[in-house]
A = this chain, B = another copy of it.
């Protein structure tokens, strides 16, 4: 049970694939892989329009302690998205603009943290996208070791080192490296289907017809009625 390890040289997905991933939205990719891989919705971007697509460099840290983020910076490579999980619930500001500067200098394209971050105005100005569960100026210590590049549970989802990570205004989704190709294809097909559906909906057609929902609704017993004559609504 070695509880504090740093795994080096984790295999990453091809950067070209990560770039293609970044052309989709989180909702599309989540659907394309069978509605899996989504982090919990309490994770929010620090500015509207934030977007990142990269390879997960995972960090397991402890409440109020940012030691392992510094350790992670050393093994960070271009195209990485840092994914920070905590050993227990905490909202302290483990990430600030100094660390963000360091991660950016090492090639990181974004950061996801199931805790707090601070210096959000500076990080927004830098254009360094961060998703967190809180914004907090609470400072941290450097006292306790965690791990880097081990599987973690971040905001309710398992993230493996080297997973593809996609994050935007809708949230964050993780895609296993082995499934990235298939998911990209499925996402592409989904987008094409949706473009056609969008045009029909915009023209006034109904999802009831486009998705052929009427037979099932009838079978389930959906009933259409008129409002009661005197308008006396009852609850």
A67 to B144 alpha-carbon distance, docked (Å): 14
How near does chain B come to A119, taking the closest CB pair, in angstroms? 6
* Per-position binary interface string of chain A over residues 129-173, scored 1 when its CB falls under 8 Å from any chain B CB and 0 otherwise: 000001111110111110001010100111011000000111101
Does A138 lie within 8 Å of B6, measured CB to CB?
no
Those 8 A-B pairs whose CB atoms lie nearest each other, nearest first: A41-B136, A63-B63, A143-B143, A70-B207, A27-B137, A102-B201, A137-B170, A3-B34
Copies in the complex: 6
Does B202 lie within 8 Å of A105, measured CB to CB?
yes
Known contacts A70-B213, A198-B98, A201-B101; A1/B225 CB under 8 A: no
Is A73's CB within 8 Å of the partner chain B? yes
Does B90 lie within 8 Å of A137, measured CB to CB?
no
Interface of A is mostly: loop
Is A92's CB within 8 Å of the partner chain B? yes
From A166, which residue of chain B is reached at the shortest CB distance? B137
Given the complex, which residues of B lie within 8 Å of A41, measured CB to CB? 91, 116, 134-138
Does A118 lie within 8 Å of B27, measured CB to CB?
yes
A33 to B201 alpha-carbon distance, docked (Å): 37
29 contacts between A and B (CB under 8 A): A1-B36, A4-B220, A4-B223, A6-B222, A6-B224, A7-B225, A9-B226, A25-B121, A25-B122, A25-B137, A26-B137, A27-B93, A30-B137, A38-B138, A41-B136, A48-B124, A71-B217, A73-B207, A88-B92, A90-B90, A98-B194, A98-B207, A105-B204, A118-B170, A118-B171, A141-B143, A141-B144, A143-B144, A153-B158
Is A16's CB within 8 Å of the partner chain B? no
A91 to B155 alpha-carbon distance, docked (Å): 14
Does A36 lie within 8 Å of B121, measured CB to CB?
no
